[in-house]
Amino acid sequence: MKITKENLSDIREEYEKAHRYIDEESKNDPPTEPFRSHYIARDVLNSALRKVKTLSEALDPQSDVATTVRCIHANILKDIAKITIFVEEPRGEELLKEALDLIANDHEKEPAINARIEILNQLGIIACNQSNFPESKQYLEQAKDVYFETKELEREPLTMADLFGTKEEVEKGKGLKLLESNHTLTLYYLAQVFGFLDNLADSAQYCHMTLQRQLEYNEYEHIDWALNAVTLSQFYFPQNHLSQARHLLAASTFMLNRYETEVVEKIANPTERAEKEETLRYRMADVGRCWAKYGLHILATSKERLGMDDEPNEDGTSKPLLTPVRKVNRFHGLDLAAYEGQVTDEFCLTFDDAKLVMLNSLSWLNKAKEYYTKETEASQYAKILQDVASLYKHLAFFEEDDSNQCKLYKRGADQLEEIVEILNATYYQTICREAWYELGLTYSNMLNVKLGQLDDMQSKDRPTPHALNKINHLCEKSIRNFKKFIESYKIELDKLELPDSIGEDEMQPILYAFFHIGRLYYRTITPDKRLKLKNTENSLFYYNRFVECCKDERMSGLFGQELGVCKEIITLLPLKIEKLKTEIAEG
C-alpha cells in the first residue's frame, strides 16, 4: 500500500489541531480548569492514534511506508505521554517506552532520528525527577550518541511535518535544525543530572556548551540565558577560575542589556512594557550582586594569599599556591571587552589594587539596593548590607594607615548596625545573629587598632582620657553584640550552658564569642579597682566556660591556639583577682 496525502490528511489535521490547543488555547484556560486544553488535545491525539494504527495494519512492516507510519505513531505516543506527565497523571513513562519500542528497529533510519532523541530526552527528565540520576544519565547519553552518529554519518533527520508530506515536500534543513535543538536540550538536561550526581565540573561544562549552542542557533530567552550564565559564574570563581567567572558575568550583563534594546524598548503597550522593565531591574540587581560576590572572593582570597606563611607543611610538602586560573572558554560572537575591563581577574597585592575591586563591587551593590529596598525586600536588603560590610572589612586589611583602617571598619559596622535596626530579630533571627557576631568582631578589630595606637602613645606620652574612653567604648560595643548573639540561642549569660539542641556548626562561633568576651573584659581599662575586679572575674568566667566547652569531642582540634592561651590565662587570673581583692580590702 502506498501512502497518499489523503491517507494522512485527517491524521495531520488532528495532530496540528492538538498542538494548537497545547500551544495557544491553553494560555486562556481558566484557573479552575488549568488543564482543559491539554485534556482536549490528548483526546484529539488519541483519535489520530487510532487512525494511525488502522493505517499501519494494512502495510508491509518492512516497507519504507510502514517506517514512516511507525514514526508518526511514535511521535503521537510521545506527545500523549508529555501531556499525561504535564497533567500529573501516571502512565507517561510507560507510553514513552512504548513509543521507543515501536521504532526500535528503525532507530538508524532518518524518519526516526528526531523522535528517538526526543523520547530519550523525556525519559531522562522523568528519571531525573524521580531522583534516579544514573538512569537519567544513561538515557541522555543514548540521546547524545544518536546525535553524534547522525552527524558522523551525515544523515538527514526529518521533522513531523516532513513525515506527513511526500519526499518532494521535505523542507530542506528543518530536520537538521530540529536535531540541533534537541541536542541542545540533551546537553542542558545532562548539565542538571551531573549536578545532582555531584560531578560539578562536567555539569559546568555541559551548561557552558548549552549556552554556546543557544547563542549559535539563536534559541534562547534573554533572561533565562543571562541567569544561567551568571549562575555558572558562581561555580568558577570559588575555584579561582577568575577569567572564566568574569567572562560569564560579563556575558550575563551583556545579555540583559540586549534584552532591554531588543525586547523592552520595542514594546508599545505601556503596561506590558512596565512589566518587562520591572523584570529587567530585578534580574540586573541579581546579576549585580553576583558581580559583587566575585569581587568579594578576589578580596578575601587575596587577603588569604598575603597572610600565608612560606613554611612547608608538617610532612614537608609545599602548601598549594592560590593563583588565578587563566583558562577561559569564551562565547563566540559576543564582544565583552567593555564589560570585562571594569574589574580585574587577578588577585590584589596592594591597597590601590584592592580599592578598585572594592569600588566596583560597591557600585553593583548600590544599584542592587535600588531594587531591593528595605521597605519592600527587607531580608534581601539586609544581605546586601552584609556584603557591603564585608567589602569594607576586606579593604581594611590592605590599609596601612591606622586611622583610615578604623574608618573602614566603622563604615562596615554602620552597615551591620542598620541591619539590626531595621529587622525584627524574632522573624529574621539568622541574619540578625550573623550581624551581631560580625559587629562583635568588627568592634574587636577596631579595638586592636586603637590598642596598637595606645602602645605607641604610651612610649611617648600619657594616653588621653579620650583615647581611653574610645577603647572602653569599643570593648563595651563588642561585648554587647557578642552577648546578643549568645542570647539568641537561649543561653543564659550567668551560666553559659549550651543547650543540647545546638548543632556542631553553631557551637564554634558561640565558643569564639566566649573567647572574645573573655578577652574584651580583660582589655577594658579603668582606674576603679572594684570595676577592674568585676571585669577580671567576668573575663575568668568566660575563659573558663570556653575551656570547659572545648572538651566536647565535636570541638576537638578546632581551637588549638586559643585553647592553649586560655588554659594559661585561667591559671593566672585567679592570682590577679586575689591581688585586687587584697588591694581593695587594704583600701
Residue 499 lies inside a defined structural domain of this protein? yes
Residue 311: pLDDT band (50, 70, 90) is low
Rounded distance between C-alpha atoms, residue 416 and residue 432, angstroms = 9
Tell me what pLDDT residue 453 has.
86
Whether residue 459 sits in one domain with residue 360: no
On the question of pLDDT at 310 being above 60, the answer is: no
Tell me what pLDDT residue 562 has.
85
Segment 114-158, tens digit of pLDDT = 999 999 999 999 999 999 999 999 999 999 999 999 999 999 999
Whether residue 296 sits in one domain with residue 429: no
CA atoms within 13 A on the CB side of 504: 6
Residue 213 lies inside a defined structural domain of this protein? no
Q: Please give the C-alpha separations between residue 378 and each of 14, 132, 315, 382, 436, in angstroms, as whole numbers.
A: 52, 39, 49, 6, 17
Non-local (6+) Cβ contacts of 278 within 8 A are none
On the question of pLDDT at 1 being above 70, the answer is: no
Q: What share of the chain is helix, strand, coil (3-state, %, to 5)?
A: 75, 0, 25
Outline where DSSP puts E strands in 529-586.
none
Rounded distance between C-alpha atoms, residue 555 and residue 562, angstroms = 12
Output DSSP code: residue 267.
Answer: -
Q: Please give the C-alpha separations between residue 560 and each of 165, 557, 566, in angstroms, as whole numbers.
A: 78, 6, 10
On the question of pLDDT at 26 being above 60, the answer is: yes
Question: Which of the pair, 168 or 435, is modelled with greater confidence?
Answer: 435
Residue 319: pLDDT band (50, 70, 90) is low
Mean pLDDT of 239-265: 96
Cell triple for 41: 488535545
Final residue belonging to a domain, choices 434, 469, 489: 489
DSSP string, 15-80: HHHHHHHHHTGGGG--TTSTTHHHHHHHHHHHHHHHHHHHHHHTS-TTSHHHHHHHHHHHHHHHHH
Rounded distance between C-alpha atoms, residue 454 and residue 445, angstroms = 14
Final residue belonging to a domain, choices 343, 368, 398: 398
CA atoms within 13 A on the CB side of 395: 27
Tell me what pLDDT residue 265 has.
94
On the question of pLDDT at 460 being above 90, the answer is: no
Residue 384 lies inside a defined structural domain of this protein? yes
Non-local (6+) Cβ contacts of 164 within 8 A are 8, 11, 12, 15, 72
Query: For the chain, how many structural domains are there in total?
Result: 3
Residue 548 lies inside a defined structural domain of this protein? yes
Mean pLDDT of 264-279: 95
Whether residue 427 sits in one domain with residue 414: yes
Helix H or strand E segment including 257: helix 242-262
Tell me what pLDDT residue 315 has.
57
Residue 498's domain comprises: 491-586
Segment 209-227, tens digit of pLDDT = 999 999 999 999 999 999 9
Tell me what pLDDT residue 559 has.
82
Q: Which amino acid belongs to residue 466?
A: H
Mean pLDDT of 460-481: 89
Tell me what pLDDT residue 46 has.
96
On the question of pLDDT at 484 being above 60, the answer is: yes
On the question of pLDDT at 178 being above 70, the answer is: yes
DSSP string, 452-502: HHHHHHHTTSPPPHHHHHHHHHHHHHHHHHHHHHHHTTT--TTT-PPPTT-
What percentage of the chain exceeds 90 in pLDDT? Answer: 81
Crossing angle between the packed helical segments 200-216 and 222-236, to the nearest 10 degrees: 150
The neighbour count for residue 561, using CB atoms within 10 Å, is 7
Segment 46-90, tens digit of pLDDT = 999 999 999 988 888 888 889 999 999 999 999 999 999 999 999
Q: Please give the C-alpha separations between residue 214 and each of 14, 174, 176, 260, in angstroms, as whole numbers.
A: 31, 17, 15, 19
Residue 318: pLDDT band (50, 70, 90) is low
Whether residue 341 sits in one domain with residue 260: yes
Final residue belonging to a domain, choices 367, 398, 429: 398
Tell me what pLDDT residue 314 has.
57
Residue 308: pLDDT band (50, 70, 90) is confident
Instruction: Region of 173 please: left (phi>0), alpha (psi -120 to 50) or beta.
Output: left
Non-local (6+) Cβ contacts of 116 within 8 A are 100, 103, 107, 143, 146
Whether residue 343 sits in one domain with residue 226: yes
Mean pLDDT of 9-15: 92
On the question of pLDDT at 160 being above 70, the answer is: yes
Mean pLDDT of 528-552: 93
Residue 193 lies inside a defined structural domain of this protein? no
Tell me what pLDDT residue 167 has.
80
Whether residue 240 sits in one domain with residue 329: yes
Segment 325-357, tens digit of pLDDT = 889 999 998 999 999 999 999 999 999 999 999
Instruction: Check: CB of residue 249 under 8 Å from CB of residue 291.
Output: yes
Whether residue 371 sits in one domain with residue 240: yes
Whether residue 573 sits in one domain with residue 536: yes
Let me know the angle formed at the C-alpha of 135 by 130 and 139, rounded to the nearest 5 degrees.
110
Whether residue 378 sits in one domain with residue 278: yes
Nearest to 233 by CA among 224, 241, 222: 241
On the question of pLDDT at 320 being above 60, the answer is: no
Nearest to 120 by CA among 48, 104, 46, 110: 104
Q: Which amino acid belongs to residue 279?
A: T
On the question of pLDDT at 421 being above 90, the answer is: yes
The neighbour count for residue 353, using CB atoms within 10 Å, is 17
Cell triple for 233: 559564574
Whether residue 297 sits in one domain with residue 245: yes
Residue 295 lies inside a defined structural domain of this protein? yes
Average pLDDT, the chain: 93
Cell triple for 437: 557576631
Rounded distance between C-alpha atoms, residue 545 and residue 559, angstroms = 14
10 Å CB burial of residue 7 (0-12, 13-18, 19+) is middle
Residue 129 lies inside a defined structural domain of this protein? no
Residue 420 lies inside a defined structural domain of this protein? yes
Whether residue 296 sits in one domain with residue 363: yes
Alpha helices per DSSP H over 87-221:
92-102, 113-129, 133-152, 160-164, 174-196, 200-216
Whether residue 436 sits in one domain with residue 334: no
